[in-house]
Structure 1
């Protein structure tokens, strides 16, 4: 049971009259940024230069001021690693040798900024889901020393197969422990030389082709002192079929071990195999940019309400029918279109009491790097950032009857948004696929990790025209045929009514926060509550 809203929050949640969101603006920005001449908007490419110029021009036209001490940009230091001459990933010591080919059977990379990686005869240990969660009484690394060893890890949480949302890891709803980023972080903390995640389409929520396109070619990461030498030598994925062959070589049944890994008290299993792989890294240090625009507050300008969207996409990618530009029209030129349209609407409404900041971040597709850098190096202190909304891929399919909150059950923003959803004649429903861990896969998470409540919502699948059947079919079609592929191109026939309805909700909520004096918090049992309370404790 959630605590009742404070009086201040209830007052702030009174429905605000939504301003006219310019559909022409959304269309024009989306069409422009996803054009072929922007080359898929990969960070640190000529496509970035065109993208940044367009965003600044549109922010100026919307009436924003440069938001970083008089500048439009925040530099984000990045380093690009390109794996070259990748050998097969070889496993020896079993019933028969197993050799996995790069891209076909496995992908591998590293966070370490070094010219060459060589993993040689590293002992292999199956560590279940690779989770160390003392607050949940769960430790897959208990009783085993994996320093210098290669760990094999299952994707998602131990209870992902549960139908409901109750269980040691929230049942079907993924926690952060289920994300691949966490699994590599924990493996490094345990001293593992390499960490390999077993891909499985349903619990991963994407097919192997998405892993191939995302994990091959130049890989960007934040450039930090120390060159990430505290990280594992190698991090990667192996196909489900390869994992079965691997376990068979070790004389183990993968299904039996998977079932054991789902139980509390699971003990890691040495496989009696040794792993070897090597490759070269081409290293390129460079900087990308976040774009920061602001509408200063009229009463408390030091208090900030945040709107975010990422401007980057994959650039040039695996060609389909001769087309190698991943244009990223929906993901996420549309979100930048929404960001600019919201800025214009707020400007026309006049200044709010608090400042409204519009942040277009880089390198989301590379691991939320732009938002992570801003959150760790904020232009406006996070303790004075009230909360906000992130927009990652607007609805171009038509209006829905439902509105979905990603990671529901986390913050008071979920209560605040209810009247604005109702004003659109819509209802809030649970995520249809919470096992995908959507809350941990876009830029709001960078702020949430450091305590700032951020709303992550989207249109549901119950279409006004066609119902759930049409909505489910459309989502499956986009995911399978266009997501992270060259086919994500602008279409003049898109139905933007759903996007406009969502943006009305985002506008009204942002305005309520900016004109109110409430400080929505995380619910007491949310994983981010403690850090928010600590950051706000010293603020007058």
Structure 2
């Protein structure tokens, strides 16, 4: 029998929903069908993930095809244009494309190191400048790069970062613990662990550059994801400042490159990493200077969110929100077969297709008391930019938005006995989820990778941080066919070999049973939120509770 290339082996595993080592099979009773169309899911996912759409990169021909298709499908589903008669919300962006990357060079104390772009390091600039050049910037190890006054934690205390480059550990200080207890929620990542925060804080500190040390486990993805995501055109929100309030360069380096840096500096990386995990850590000058350079081409353009609404029957000025990002990476690093289109079939053609299918189902059922809003956002892969723009410029007042669900990457691995709630224990929406799951005969499982900080990595975050309770669910891993061993293996296989790469492609043999069960769950949650009269809130200790309370205290709120 011919051995399949890795790509086809991966697709065959996902398509059949089974592993050779897992032979047990079982069936679940089919849940009540609310009119969610499998044909719609398949056709919309197939279309959005086709090569014709070129990976759905914002600002390209692929965007034009995508948003036109979504507007057409929203209309066919029975929605009304959601932005004052328009299907679209303009999102101003700037795209910066780096080229001619010099090596990342370190020198000092008789030491000279050179690291190759893509293989050892990647970097970008948020500044709208034709050339980025860092010449002899002093390298400072700042631990996890956190300044959290409410926790009495400041990795930058006593350090003047102007003109210097921060070397930063990924995640936050207590990610390696086995529990969820600790100053930064133990194994569960907080926003302080996200790369977005680390670059923002380095800029606030006046740093010239910021470089994060990559490790697979605390980052929750391999170097291949970093290299693919951070090369090629990068889109950012066009704030009108030209990006001059940001560092000159933000980047990543491999763990091996970082170890070489510490060795060259005569420092014990393991000991300093341990010290950085404890209160009172003080930044360490490495007595090395960083230099690199690259050119930048940039263009300003307007991308678009796509929004449709199904008006409420009795309280149309109260809203339930459904979000999914329509964008992906466009063209990216080719695979072994030369394919350079990152089609983003699972991530997130599936979630975008779900908006269409759910809209059809809610329309067929006659709507709910509250209005149902379906928002397909742009530029998630560039840093949640479309959702962030909507959060800062909401079409529907956030104080009148009861809450919502975010749909990102539905996995076609077959039916599961469970669903994973990312960020469970944050809001009273937990009760809505568990009730809907009970009706399906399924259970809620804890986040299997809390160190990944996934609650802060998808589009609901731009709304959550402004007080709107949002649910973010992921496919369960306790599969009916094969159990948790099969579920974890397929999840790891997708992350390692398809996620953010050209092999995330549509497959006609996918097992859609689990996807349809998850859609029925989203449907039930939407109906519940749309018909109930109360306003679920964040739990009292949650970081977003005070924001929601203030919003509800305003005129016409909650």
* TM-score exceeds 0.5: yes
Instruction: Find the partner of 1:527 among 525, 535, 543.
Output: 543
- How far 1:36 moved relative to its partner? 0.9
In the other structure, the counterpart of 1:379 is: 395
What TM-score, normalized to structure 2?
0.92
In the other structure, the counterpart of 1:437 is: 453
Q: Distance in 2 between matches of 1:300 and 1:111?
A: 43
- How far 1:247 moved relative to its partner? 1.0
Counterpart contact for 1:188–1:232, Cα < 8 Å: yes
Instruction: Find the partner of 1:516 among 532, 543, 547.
Output: 532
Structure 1 unmatched runs, 5+: 1-15
Structure 1 position 471 matched with structure 2 position 517: no
In the other structure, the counterpart of 2:332 is: 317
Q: Distance in 1 between matches of 2:190 and 2:85?
A: 39
Structure 1 position 349 matched with structure 2 position 403: no
Q: Distance in 1 between matches of 2:367 and 2:57?
A: 34
Give the match's secondary structure for 1:104. Answer: coil
Deviations 1:152-190 (A, max 9, x none): 000001111111111111111111111100000111111
- How far 1:17 moved relative to its partner? 7.2
Within a 5 Å distance, the mapping from 1:152-167 to structure 2 comes to 152-167=167-182
Counterpart contact for 1:18–1:507, Cα < 8 Å: no
Q: Distance in 2 between matches of 1:176 and 1:408?
A: 15
Q: Distance in 2 between matches of 1:232 and 1:480?
A: 31
Counterpart contact for 1:18–1:508, Cα < 8 Å: no
Q: Distance in 2 between matches of 1:164 and 1:195?
A: 30
Q: Distance in 2 between matches of 1:438 and 1:356?
A: 25
Deviations 1:260-286 (A, max 9, x none): 111111111111111112222101111
Counterpart contact for 2:35–2:364, Cα < 8 Å: no
Structure 1 position 339 matched with structure 2 position 359: no
Q: Distance in 2 between matches of 1:262 and 1:170?
A: 13
Instruction: Find the partner of 2:196 among 172, 178, 181.
Output: 181
Deviations 1:223-272 (A, max 9, x none): 11111211111110011111111111111011111111111111111111
In the other structure, the counterpart of 2:43 is: 28
In the other structure, the counterpart of 1:215 is: 230
- Structure 1 residue ranges, 4+ long, deviating more than 6 angstroms after superposition: none
Give the match's secondary structure for 1:319. Answer: coil
What TM-score, normalized to structure 1?
0.95
In the other structure, the counterpart of 1:396 is: 412
Counterpart contact for 2:172–2:189, Cα < 8 Å: yes
Structure 1 position 133 matched with structure 2 position 129: no
Q: Distance in 2 between matches of 1:95 and 1:501?
A: 62
Within a 5 Å distance, the mapping from 1:118-267 to structure 2 comes to 118-267=133-282
In the other structure, the counterpart of 2:5 is: none
Give the match's secondary structure for 1:153. Answer: strand
**Range that drifts further, 396-405 or 85-94:** 85-94
In the other structure, the counterpart of 1:71 is: 86
- How far 1:359 moved relative to its partner? 0.4
The verdict on how the C-alpha distance between 1:17 and 1:525 changes in structure 2, with shifts beyond 3 A counting, is farther
Deviations 1:300-345 (A, max 9, x none): 2111110011111111111111111111111111111111110001
Q: How many residues align?
A: 525
- How far 1:94 moved relative to its partner? 3.3
Counterpart contact for 1:41–1:313, Cα < 8 Å: yes
In the other structure, the counterpart of 2:20 is: none
Q: Distance in 2 between matches of 1:94 and 1:469?
A: 51
Counterpart contact for 2:153–2:279, Cα < 8 Å: yes
Instruction: Find the partner of 2:323 among 308, 311, 321.
Output: 308
- How far 1:20 moved relative to its partner? 2.2
Give the match's secondary structure for 1:330. Answer: helix
Within a 5 Å distance, the mapping from 1:78-117 to structure 2 comes to 78-117=93-132
Structure 1 position 364 matched with structure 2 position 374: no
Counterpart contact for 1:21–1:342, Cα < 8 Å: yes
Counterpart contact for 2:342–2:501, Cα < 8 Å: yes
Counterpart contact for 2:139–2:286, Cα < 8 Å: yes
